[in-house]
Chain A
């Protein structure tokens, strides 16, 4: 039995893009040559700006995006699922094991279904339970684990606030008893006090139900608080990956450093020393050659030798991986 629950090997995901029906088809590489292993029981964080490919990677792991090259393997107790060769029948089985929690709890819940029906839907669709009584029992069980008031099961989502709605989405994701959860910006739309509540709930459920999370977020302070391991993505590449304490104490890649320095400090006397990055994240349609970060990197050389570099992670300390271009320029 493997200690990892997910292995991602040399994964790339590209999309076809055609500006209009006369122009040539182009390939956009959203995710490029990613290698990650997610340990069982870990809280794996994925950070990056919009357009960095975090969501695409998460969806590829769930089998919701087509994999272009490489593979994703999900290690279940008895068997492995290889998502590149998965059959539709196996995919149904896989759905029970791996689930997704969305960002916007207002958009994710059908306004015409009661909370009970929303949570029960996965059980019915996946034909997990055999009778209505059994379904009800499971719904009530998971609802109370997610600290939902059982009285509320008969109501419709419009009656609930953002935090309660997010708890309903979490209950729905967990009702099929999955082992692996992708939480895609699941607290981004919430107020800070509710965000704290949902993060605590996710942590608590992780211990209670033996869950492994892939936690996708753009908010570094949130990631620092809940995740064990963090990977930083930029333009489809992982540029740095390390245990979260190590990463936040000792960032090596210039992009990670810039991201960390950009978090506005709550101490008014600590006026930000943000390393200001020039410009914006380039379009994935024509990413820079060589080191993808070179167009914004404060350490990029005058001669532009970074354009010829081949990107790839190097282990600088046990468990701390940095892109090889970043190893040199960040020093």
Chain B
């Protein structure tokens, strides 16, 4: 079967005053229609940069490697140069939801007008039709008084409502692929539960592919089919969500799970991962996790390892350095 999205060998580097920073190294991911791929990791692990690469939203100092591919519908997004090509992706085939909905709506334009505008651009619909679709969409995401909300500004809505409006706007163009970057992080737990249920229903109804970025393993467990664990720009473990969370093998994945307070086991100690995530300016050579890995050897032989995923069980991919040290 053809994949909806295929990312092959993606490297992303940023040119900064302090030197060239590696943000993403050798990331390959696939996503099928109707599936949710969760990407999880600490801040600075490259989750958002990966998603933004798909939309080509990274800043001007970004350097992609030549052999990288991001394939949607047989076309390599990274080779797009003209604005018209990019338009097919941004807001057309792909939509994105952000963490802070207040920052993603223009503050001085009514929500309805913003929704209508993008529909007119991407679907070349006339204004009246676009308005009907927008109001219908607002209704579907559970916004009461959709017609009234249509004529309001973003600041007049509460946080949960704004996130719903954001989802409605992202979905109104019927994208094939939805990128959700920490969509529930800024919300209270009860509102988060509402938004997660809403997203699950909508994903089923529209049968699209979703990349769901979050640092919260609980949210991943609830929404994702597959999960990729990222650390400092590399995917260290990847597979079906059930398998990865029940049977984590990479020391970083295990570390993340052990650091999480578990409400069902209040006696379990909280075990932090030692040390801090290194600055991308001094990214460790070899296995990127070796500076914090509890199993790293004294001799430092991990510095010479070449990272790469290996299939250890059907569907369960693990970085080759993690295969050895994770067994301890």
Contact = CB atoms under 8 A, between A and B. Distances in A.
Given A196-B270, A221-B263, A262-B193, A268 B188 contact: no
Contacts of B271: 196
Interface string B232-257: 00000000011001100000000111
A163 B241 CA distance: 28
Contact of A218 (B188, B221, B260): B188
B189 A268 contact: no
B194 A276 contact: yes
Given A220-B263, A225-B270, A265 B222 contact: yes
B193 A224 contact: no
B161 interface: yes
A77 interface: no
A219 B187 CA distance: 11
A47 B326 CA distance: 37
A90 interface: no
A266 B272 contact: no
Contact of A262 (B159, B190, B273, B277): B190
Nearest to B158: A280
Interface in A258-287: 258-272, 274, 276-277, 280-281
B259 A49 contact: no
A199 B189 CA distance: 21
A248 B276 CA distance: 32
A226 to B, nearest CB: 8
Contact of A164 (B160, B257, B260, B276): B276
Nearest to A260: B263
A262 to B, nearest CB: 4
Interface in A270-307: 270-272, 274, 276-277, 280-281
A192 B262 contact: no
A252 B266 CA distance: 19
Nearest to A192: B259
B218 to A, nearest CB: 3
A104 to B, nearest CB: 13
A258 to B, nearest CB: 6
A263 B263 contact: yes
Contact of B266 (A50, A193, A224, A272): A224
Contact of A263 (B42, B189, B191): B189
A50 B159 CA distance: 10
A269 B240 CA distance: 12
A255 to B, nearest CB: 9
Contacts of A264: 192-193, 196, 216, 218-219, 221-222
Interface in B156-194: 158-161, 188-194
Nearest to A161: B276
A93 interface: no
Interface in B208-226: 215-219, 221-222
B65 interface: no
B100 to A, nearest CB: 14
Contacts of B285: none
Contacts of B194: 276-277
A178 to B, nearest CB: 24
B189 A280 contact: no
B30 to A, nearest CB: 20
Nearest to B184: A264
B222 A163 contact: no
B133 to A, nearest CB: 25
Contacts of B158: 280
Contact of A266 (B189, B190, B257): B257
A281 B190 CA distance: 10
A204 to B, nearest CB: 12
A194 B276 contact: yes
A161 B43 CA distance: 11
B222 A192 contact: no
A272 B216 CA distance: 15
A50 B221 CA distance: 25
Nearest to B257: A266
B261 interface: yes
A49 B190 CA distance: 8
A310 interface: no
A9 interface: no
Contacts of B246: 267-268
B104 interface: no
Contact of A276 (B43, B161, B188, B197): B197
15 contacts: A192-B217, A194-B276, A195-B259, A195-B272, A200-B269, A221-B261, A222-B261, A245-B266, A259-B189, A262-B193, A264-B196, A266-B217, A267-B221, A274-B197, A277-B190
Given A220-B189, A222-B261, 5 more contacts: A161-B276, A221-B260, A221-B261, A274-B193, A276-B197
* 7 smallest beta-carbon distances between A and B, as pairs: A264-B218, A197-B272, A193-B273, A196-B270, A49-B188, A196-B272, A274-B193
